[in-house]
Structures are given as structure tokens and as C-alpha cells.
Amino acid sequence: MATGGTSSSSEEGFLSRMALNDNKAGMEGLNRDKINKIIMESSKGSRFYENELKKEQQVNQRIERMMLQKAHITEQQLSKAQAQVEKMTSDLERGRDLSRVIVHVDMDAFYAAVETRDCPDLMDKPMAVGSMSMLSTSNYHARKFGVRAAMPGFIAKKLCPNLVIVPTNFDKYRAVSAEVREVFADYDPHFLPMSLDEAYLDISDHLEQRRGWPEALRTHRLRLHTNNTGTTWSISLPLSLYPSSSPCLQDAAGGEVEVFGTCAEEAVREMRFRIEQKTSLTASAGIAPNMMLAKVCSDKNKPNGQYKLSSNRQAVIDFIQDLPVRKVSGIGKVTEKMLGALGITSCSHLGQEMALLALLFSETSWHHFLHISMGLGSTHIERDGERKSMSTERTFGEMSALKEQFSLCRELCQDLAQDLQKEALKGKTVTLKLKNVNFEVKTRAWTLPCAVATTEELFAVAKDLLKTEIDNVSPQPLRLRLMGVRVSSFASADDKKPLQKSIVGFLHKKQTNSSSTSQISHKPVKEHLPKPPGLTQPSACPSLNTNTSAETHISMSALTASDKMTHEPTAHASTSSCCSTEPESGTDSLTCPVCFREVNTTELTVFNRHIDQCLSGVTMGQNNHTDTELERGPSVCEEEEEEDEKTGGKREEGAMEKGRELLSRCMLDSVGLQLDSSAGDHTESTTGPALTCPVCQETQDTNDLTLFNLHVDLCLNQEVLHELGGLAPVDRTTHTAPPAAHKGLCFRDVLFTE
């Protein structure tokens, strides 16, 4: 039921949001009114409906603000914007590239088609793949009833009582997708898959080669297929579905063959033919000079069809003229509605109102609109760069019990940790996503100074974020219907490189450390530095390895933590001189990884003592190192020191304590890493002083680093388990870190076991 005060006009508006989106192949000419009535009746009064109503109102408010803004635009502003648009238009026009042949291939009703292929009984029935909660796709029979992807199954059933709902089988779809991709690769080895059933290809190079191909290379034989019931049938479709200039011939064995031509349309027709031969599934394709247009074109003759847009400017402009904005990828229901409020429904309108759009929308948005209105898009297909985030989430019936919530949280962290491990990723930002029973979504994120990846590390952060949310609604229970955990801010490729074999490398004289300088110096210094520990971070750096001993020190990505704490200061030390290509020579000093100062000694014993003092805080009175110093490094350190003198050195000691602790912990990571790398080389590792465990502080009766590592692992695990009980996110209003168990960490003996 609509909330009080809901006017009929807002319901009308709401209907546009909830109503059938028939912007999909196979859904033209439906009885929209009848379908929408059923959808509304099924949805009204539900929490989902209420939430949609709320979102609709927010969009309406956005539109109102926009219209108000529009009313205040002066002629002068408009003409200025017009000049700006015109300049940009001519710049873009000059750069227009019509030389590439881009193809967008989309499998027809993919999941449904796979299921139908494997169960021909479904052939003539309306069917959908998914569940009563949600459908992934539907076949063309079902679409005639208004049943489509992203529709709940129970509503679909009301629209089409005879609908057969088949559960999803992603393993099967992945296998078929792999077969399809094998065909794609023959036309563009660098094709860009967008999902299991969709890809972009640049076939320009293929066409170049194809022109010189003999007919035999362009001839494909029709094959017989056998389905899983043992029935054999010819999968050759009527040739009319493959309109071609080339004849259908018979080969020597009497089988039918198809000869394809050399032009783009023929190449794509051949590709679709081969996909169909290989998988018994049909695909549709669009051929155009860029990705944006190819995507629109692939929808033109769906299903089992293709459309080519000529590579000349006028053809592109003509094609764009009457294209509804909603057909363009990237323009969804909200943008469509906002543009609609300005009277813009087609791409030609978009072009006409560009000056207005430049004043009402952000630069990114109106630039995007301008590209669309000119029919411009990317002509360079490149695979996505590095992954930006990884997440897992789960929807369930109402969950209010704390125990269940924390247990699920841990499960999600575990799943995510496994996924991260598969791709050897570690990230610094952990985000908890919660959707309550009213469909309100909240995300709560925390960024750590070190990259994390294990279940315990993720859970340590996620559970604190969850706890905070639970506390916020207390004494009411947190009534959830979805929970998710995401990790982002992955360590960059640079960070992953083993810049330094061990922390000892860092302690070498600066001139010996040119490699790390060259790796890092091109980036702004600040980017590489950890946030001031204890100032904005939640809890003890969970990058403490909590893995089992087998994996504790070998993780490559663990380098990120050590990089942050060991390489960066080095980079820092060299940053001051990085502009000079001349390495500093003749320096008889070592740089302290804690205070970043140069210690005038090359004696490790003396230097060790200095580090110990820095870490234990004994020298605080003399040093007054602050977290800010830790962040900025030596060049700023001195200025701060002067400032400190002026301000009487009043700094937050608690924060400093945290900073030292955090630093110590992150350095422990480095130590672990070093130990492990040395552990692989026993000839080097079995000499040296007795080893003192940096966690329990006890001297171990062994020189064997493998054994010693095992001991440290055990101690660390215990330490972390202890900590997991007491982590609390930082109070963002006061910016103080939560208390965490601090141990005066002395890892000198471990550091210098060379």
C-alpha cells in the first residue's frame, strides 16, 4: 500500500519505475496495460514496493531540483555553454575513427536456450530460468506474456500460469560459453567478453587476412547433432536465416556445406553459423565502427539475426537520429526519466539540447551524452584492466539473531577469502553491505593500512562494522535480508613486485636500493604511505598473518604490507634525492624504519638498539615522533619537529602508541616474509645469533628458521585470536583508535639473522 499522501500522479510515476520494461527483444506489441496491472497488483503493499516508491520519490526530487536549476539559467550562460559544446563537438569530430570493424555478439536468451536444447520438451512452452524469487532469463514464448529477466518468478507465474521455471545451472552455461568463446577467438584473439553470453570483437585484422583466403577456408560443413535423449537431427536452420550471397553446396561426401564471403557481414554470418553448429544455439550480432553502436545494432535483428551499420559518418548520424536514448548502454531508467523531463527522448534531441545538458549535468555525464549524440564510442577493445574489487553477498529470509548474523558474516568472509586466494589478491578496504527487510541498503567500509585477504583478517573488520550497525539500532534487532562483504583497493601490480628480498635490504645504504626507488618514485609520495596509524584506522592492522603456518609467510601479496612499511620509507629517503639521477654515495648511515631518520652508524647492533628504542617508545621524550611523521617521512619530519617545539610538542600520545604498534605489526609481516625467503636457503639461515620470537619475546633454542617460523606462526595465531575478541572500529568523530593489546615488540633478533 502506498504511504499516506501518495498522489495518483506519483503512483503514475511509480508505475513507470515498476512497470514492464519492454525494451527487450521479443517484447514488442504486448498488452502493456494488462501486464502492468498484474505487476502492480502483485507488488503493491510489499516492502519492496514501499522501497521502490521511496526511490521513485527521490528521483522525482532530483528532477525537481534540476528543473529549478534550469529555470535560473540565463541566456548568457546558455550561449557560453553552447560555445563550449561546439568546440568540443568539432574536436571530437576531428578525432572520429571509422576505420575499425567492431562486432557485438549476444547469444539469444542464453540460459533458456541452453536448457531448451538439453530438454527439447521445453521447445514450445513458455519457460524461464531462475526461481520463484527471481528469473535470470526467459524464452521468447514467455516474453509474449511479459515475462522477462529480473522479474520475480511469482509475478511471472501470475502473468503466465503455464510458465515452466527451470533452476539455473551455471556450470553448464560456463561450459557452453567456453565453446562459444573458442569461435570468437578465431575472429579476434583479443575479444572482450562482457558476460557468459556476450562479447565485443574487433574483426578488422581478421577481415584484412580474410580477403586473401581461398574459398576452402571459408567453407563450413553442416553437422548432425545428437541430443541427450539420443535423437539425431540436423541443426541446419533454413538458409533464409543466413541470407547470403554464397551458394549452399554439397561436398564430396554428399554433406551440405556453406561457403561464406570475405566481407564483414559474411564473416559475422559465418561466426554465428559456427556457433550454432558447435552449440546448437543461436546468436545475434551488430557490426559497427565502434562499441556503442555495435551494441545497439546487435539488438536490431534479434533473435538470430545481425545488422551492419556502414562505416561512414552520414550513416552513423542517420542511425543515431531517431534512436531512443534508452537503447544506449549506460542510460538506465533514472537517466531516461531525467532526460525525459527535459523533453529529450531520442539521441537527436540529446544533440539539440547539449548546451542545456552541459549546464545541468556533471562534466562526465554531459561528455557521455555528447558522445552518444554524435554516435561516438570506443573503437579500441581492450580487456578490462586489473580487477577493482571482489565481493560476495547473500540474500535470505529475515535474519535478526546476532549469532546467525555473525556466523553468516564469517561465512561470507571465508568465501571471499577463498575467492581472493584464487586470484592472489589482497585489498585494503573492506566493505560490509547490509540490506534490511525494508530493502534499505547500507554499506559500511573501512580502509586499513595494510592489504588483507584471509578469513580472519576480513572477519576482524567485517564483524566490527556489523557490530557497529547492530549497536546503532539497538535495542531493536537488526533485521536483515541481505549481507555482503567486499574487498577493494587492491595492491597495485607495482606493489606486488618483490621490490626487496627482505627488510634487511631496506636497511642497506641508500645507494644500494635503487630498484625500489625506480619502482616507486614515479608516484606521489603520499600515495605510497600508510595512513597515520591510530588516527583513522579501526583496529590493529589485521595484516598480521593469521593463516596457517604453511601459508603464513609465503604469500606474495603479503609483500604489500611489508612494502608499505619497509620500502616506502626507503623510497621516501630516496625521494628527497630522487630528482637526481646520481646515487648518494659515501653515506655511512642507515635509515630507521620507524622514525625515518638517518642513524650515523653501519653497526647493526647500534642500529638495532635505535630501532628498539623507537618502537618501544623509550626514546619518545627525545624523538617526539608522531603519526604524521610516520606518514610523511623525513622531509616533513623536521618541519613538524620545529612546529612541535612551537606548540610544546603536544601530540596525541595514544595515537602515537597506536602508530608504533601498527608499524610494528606491519613490520612483523615483513619479518615473516624475510624469514621465509631465507628459510628456503638453509645455508644462509642457520648461522647467526639465537632467535627471539617477536611475539612471545622468548628466545628459541634453534637456529633453524623453518622451525622458528613455525613457532612465530603459532604465537601470531594465538595473538590474533586473542585480538579478534577485542577489535572495535575507530570512533570517527574523535578519530581515536580503539585500544588493542600492545606488546613491546622486539624483532631485532629476527631482523638481522643474515
Partner DNA sequence: GGGGGAAGGACCA
Partner DNA sequence: TTCCTGGTCCTTCCCCC
Give residues 459-518 in contact with DNA (rule: CB under 7 A).
481-482, 484, 486, 488
User: From the CB of 357, what's the least distance to DNA, in Å?
Assistant: 11
Which of 218-226, 328-336, 614-622, 701-709 is the region at the interface with DNA (rule: CB under 7 A)?
328-336
Cell numbers of 16, please?
A: 513507470
Report yes or no: 109 and 303 within 8 Å, Cβ to Cβ. yes
| Distant-in-sequence, close-in-space partners of 338: CB < 8 Å, separation ≥ 6 | 59, 62, 63, 66
For DNA, the closer CB: 150 or 217:
150
Residue from 177, 282, 431, 546 binding DNA (CB under 7 A): 431
Pairing of the two strands 283-288 and 248-250: unpaired
Q: How far is the CB of 693 from DNA (least distance, A)?
A: 33
**Which residues within the stretch 535-594 sit at the binding site for DNA (CB under 7 A)?**
536
At closest approach, how far in Å is the CB of 132 from DNA?
A: 4
Stretch that binds DNA, among 114-122, 441-449, 511-519, 641-649 (CB under 7 A): 441-449
Per CB under 7 A, which of residues 51..110 are in contact with DNA? Answer: 55, 58-59
Residues in contact with DNA, counted by CB under 7 A, come to a total of 74
Quick note: the x/- pattern for DNA over 372-411, rule CB under 7 A, is ------------x--xxxxxxxxx----------------
Alpha carbon distance 647, 649 (integer Å)? 5
Give the nearer residue to DNA in terms of CB position, either 196 or 750. Answer: 196
* Nearest distance, CB of residue 463 and DNA, angstroms: 15
Closer residue to DNA in complex, CB, 332/744: 332
Q: Provide the Cα torsion 708, 710, 712, 717; round to 10°.
A: -170
Is the Cβ of residue 286 or residue 593 nearer to DNA in the bound state?
Answer: 286
Q: Which is nearer to DNA, 370 or 611 (CB)?
A: 370
Q: Which of 443, 697, 699, 718 binds DNA (CB under 7 A)?
A: 443
- The residue among 255 and 330 lying less far from DNA, judged by its C-beta, is 330
The answer to whether the CB of 107 falls within 8 A of the CB of 283 is yes
Q: Comparing C-alpha atoms, which of 279, 233, 280, 242 is closest to residue 257?
A: 242
- Closest of 177, 182, 185, 187 to residue 260, by C-alpha: 187
> CA separation (Å) from 107 to 112, 195, 248, 271, 640?
10, 10, 25, 12, 62
Shortest CB 425 distance to DNA, Å: 10
107 versus 507: smaller Cβ distance to DNA: 107
Binding test (CB under 7 A) with DNA, winner from 3, 6, 31, 46: 46
Q: Which of 468, 452, 467, 469 is nearest to 413 (CA)?
A: 452
**What is the torsion angle, in degrees rounded to the nearest 10, for the CA atoms of residue 329, residue 335, residue 339 and residue 340?**
100
Integer angstrom CA distances of residue 241 from 104, 116, 148, 238? 19, 20, 25, 6
* Cross-strand pairs, 446: 430
Which of residues 194 and 578 has its CB atom nearest to DNA in the complex? 194
Q: How many CB atoms lie within 10 A of CB 478?
A: 22
CA atoms within 13 A of residue 108's CA, in its CB half-sphere:
26
By CB under 7 A, the residues from 286 to 315 that bind DNA are 295
Q: Which of 441, 556, 618, 721 binds DNA (CB under 7 A)?
A: 441
Residue nearer to DNA on the CB measure, 194 or 235: 194
Q: Is 335 in the site for DNA (CB under 7 A)?
A: yes
Burial of 327 per CB tally in 10 Å (0-12, 13-18, 19+)? middle
Distance CA 667, CA 544 (A): 9
Query: What SS3 class is residue 68?
Result: helix
Q: Which of 672, 673, 659 shows the shortest CA–CA distance to 594?
A: 659
Binding segment toward DNA, per CB under 7 A, in 189-197, 556-564, 615-623, 703-711: 189-197
Q: How far is the CB of 325 from DNA (least distance, A)?
A: 10
Kindly give the residue spans of alpha helices, DSSP state H, lying in 437-595. 455-473, 493-496, 503-507, 514-520, 549-552, 558-562, 568-575
Interaction residues for DNA, span 101-160 (CB under 7 A): 132-134, 150-155, 157
Binding residues among 694-753 for DNA as defined by CB under 7 A? 735
The residues in 214-253 that bind DNA, with binding defined as CB under 7 A, are: none
Q: Which stretch binds DNA (CB under 7 A): 274-282, 329-337, 451-459, 649-657?
A: 329-337
Q: How far apart are the first and last CA of the chain?
A: 73
Question: Based on CB atoms, which residue is closest to DNA, 96 or 442?
Answer: 442
Q: Which of residues 348-367 bind DNA (CB under 7 A)?
A: 361-365
Find the radius of gyration of the CA atoms of the chain. Answer: 32
For DNA, the closer CB: 65 or 87? 65
Select from 32, 37, 47, 501 the one that contacts DNA (CB under 7 A): 47
Residue 524 is a binding residue for DNA (CB under 7 A): yes
Rounded to the nearest whole angstrom, what is the least distance from the CB of residue 471 to DNA in the complex?
13
Neighbours of 563 (CB within 10 A): 32
**Is 442 among the residues that bind DNA (CB under 7 A)?**
yes
CB crowding 169-207: b at 16 or more within 10 Å, else e: eeeebeebbeebeebbeebbeebbbbebbbbbbbbbebb
Residue closer to DNA by CB (options 489, 589) is 489
Out of 75, 91, 527, 582, name the contact with DNA by CB under 7 A: 527
172 is a contact residue toward DNA (CB under 7 A): no
16, 57, 447, 576: which one contacts DNA (CB under 7 A)?
A: 447
Helices (H) and strands (E) in the chain, counts: 32, 21
- Choose, by CB under 7 A, the member of 73, 122, 194, 342 that binds DNA: 194
Q: How far is the CB of 51 from DNA (least distance, A)?
A: 9
Nearer CB in complex with DNA: 6/443: 443
Q: Is 642 in the site for DNA (CB under 7 A)?
A: no
514 close to 424: Cβ distance less than 8 angstroms: no
Residue 195 pairs in a beta bridge with: 198
Comparison of 206 and 463: residue with beta carbon closer to DNA: 463
Distance in angstroms (rounded) separating the CA atoms of residues 553 and 709: 8
| Contacting range for DNA; rule: CB under 7 A; set: 311-319, 528-536, 689-697, 741-749 | 528-536
338 versus 705: smaller Cβ distance to DNA: 338
